[in-house]
Amino acid sequence: MKKILFLTAGLMLLAAACNAGNQASTGNSTESNSASRVDAAVSNLNASVDSEEAVNLQSDDDVINSDQTIVNDYEGATNANY
Amino acid sequence: MRTIKNFSLILATLGFILTPALGLAREDKPTAPASDAKNFCTRIANVTGEVNSKLVKVDQDRGSKRTEVFNQLKERKESRVKQVQEKRDQAKADLDERLSDLESDALTEAQLSALAAFRAAVAAAQEVRKAAVDKAMADFRTSQESLVTKRQDAIKANATTFKADVAAAMAKAKTDCAASVDPATVRRTLMSAQQAAKDKFQQANKDLDKLGGQIKNLTQTRNQAVRDANQAFKAALETARQNLKAAFAQS
């Protein structure tokens, strides 16, 4: 009878220890997931800002300077069989 | 003997091919044989008509190009504003989703509070950045449009002067021909006046480079303002990130 009582108490202690370990493990896992999510959220925001910057800082020089050919054409227009 | 003969043949062939080409390369101004120069006054009406037609055509092209430049700048602006808005909307949706996940992870009141603080810090930093970037872009576009207008107006004004100078030279040639001035002299005088008009036109158009320099400065100012705003945002975001991670580490 004593043996059974000791065995039962031992099993209960073991179960309690396992449960505490599981809880600690779950806590660590949640913490790790949360940290990853925070990092991912920030990383995504930074990437979006970089992507927006790339759009905003594009140059229009090619369009603005495209009239240069017209300037040359004026001079060319005076060429004739003199 | 045979080798010398072949060599001579090659030289003669090369000379035949290259002589006209070299002659053309030297001829960068319209010239005419002496007999043509003598007949210049009989051609003056045709020459004037030909030059005037070309100048009218170039003037039309210039007007079209002006419209095209402004239209292209407008299209680019609209396209970029749309792209930026799409990126902002996408970033907001993604952030909302991730923050919802984080809310599910939160186990304590302190964590929920930290999450709310993070959300508020990000929103505030986004507002500041958006205002700064949008202002930099608006300032840039307004000033750029003004400088492009100045550039187009300058080209138009320079062209108007050039056309007037050419027309005056043609008119003098006609008058001289009517006064029986030697046609070769009339032709030389006209060519000289036209060259002077071209030189003047080129000199006037050098001011366009100055406008180009102003646009370049404008671009640098815009780029710096946008980059500064983005860097400030990232710094604020990093602080918020560290605070939130610290809160989630204390479970």
Where do the structural domains in chain A lie, given as residue ranges?
Answer: 1-52
Average pLDDT over residues A41-67: 95
Average pLDDT over residues B8-16: 48
Contact predicate B51/B166, CB 8 Å: yes
- Reduce the secondary structure of B175-199 to three states and give it as a string: HHHHCCCCHHHHHHHHHHHHHHHHH
pLDDT at B106: 83
Inter-chain touch A57–B222, beta carbons under 8 Å:
yes
Instruction: Give backbone dihedrals phi and psi of B158, rounded to 5 degrees, phi first.
Output: -65, -40
Q: What is the pLDDT of residues B177-213, one digit of tens each?
A: 999 999 999 999 999 999 999 999 999 998 888 888 9
CA distance B201 to B198: 5
What value does the mean pLDDT of chain A take? 79
Q: What is the pLDDT of residues B139-177, one digit of tens each?
A: 999 999 999 999 999 999 999 999 999 999 999 999 999
Convert A12-34 to b/e letters by CB count within 10 Å (16 or more is b). eeeeeeeeeeeeeeeeeebbeeb
CA distance B226 to B102: 31
CB-based contacts of B223, cutoff 8 Å, min separation 6: A57
Inter-chain touch A52–B244, beta carbons under 8 Å:
no
Q: Which of B133, B148, B201 sits opposite A74 (nearest CB)?
A: B201
Chain A nearest CA to B91, separation (Å): 6
A54 touches chain B (CB under 8 A): no
Average pLDDT over residues A46-52: 97
Coil, strand or helix at A59 = coil
Predicted TM-score of the model (pTM): 0.76
Inter-chain touch B84–A75, beta carbons under 8 Å:
no
- For tokens 């705003």, name the residue: B229
pLDDT at A41: 93
Selection from B171, B68, B109 nearest residue A63 by Cα:
B68
Helical (H) or strand (E) element with A38: helix A2-56
pLDDT at A30: 61
Q: What is the pLDDT of residues B29-48, one digit of tens each?
A: 455 555 577 789 999 999 99
- For tokens 């710096």, name the residue: B224
Contact predicate A46/B234, CB 8 Å: yes
Instruction: Work out the pLDDT band at A10, boundaries 50, 70, 90.
Output: low
pLDDT at B249: 85
CA distance B129 to B221: 16
Q: Is the pLDDT of residue B18 over 90?
A: no
Least confident of A41-45, A62-66, B104-108, B131-135: B104-108
Q: What is the pLDDT of residues B219-245, one digit of tens each?
A: 999 999 999 999 999 999 999 999 999
Inter-chain touch B102–A37, beta carbons under 8 Å:
yes
CA distance B239 to B122: 10
C-alpha angle B239-B241-B245 in degrees, rounded to nearest 5: 120
Smallest CA–CA distance from B203 into chain A, residue: A71
Q: What is the pLDDT of residues B48-59, one digit of tens each?
A: 999 999 999 999
Q: What is the pLDDT of residues B59-115, one digit of tens each?
A: 999 999 999 999 999 999 999 999 999 999 999 999 999 999 999 988 899 999 999
Rg of chain B over all Cα atoms, to the nearest angstrom: 35
pLDDT at A82: 83
Q: Which of B155, B166, B223 sits opposite A70 (nearest CB)?
A: B155
CA distance B87 to B112: 28
Smallest CA–CA distance from B141 into chain A, residue: A60
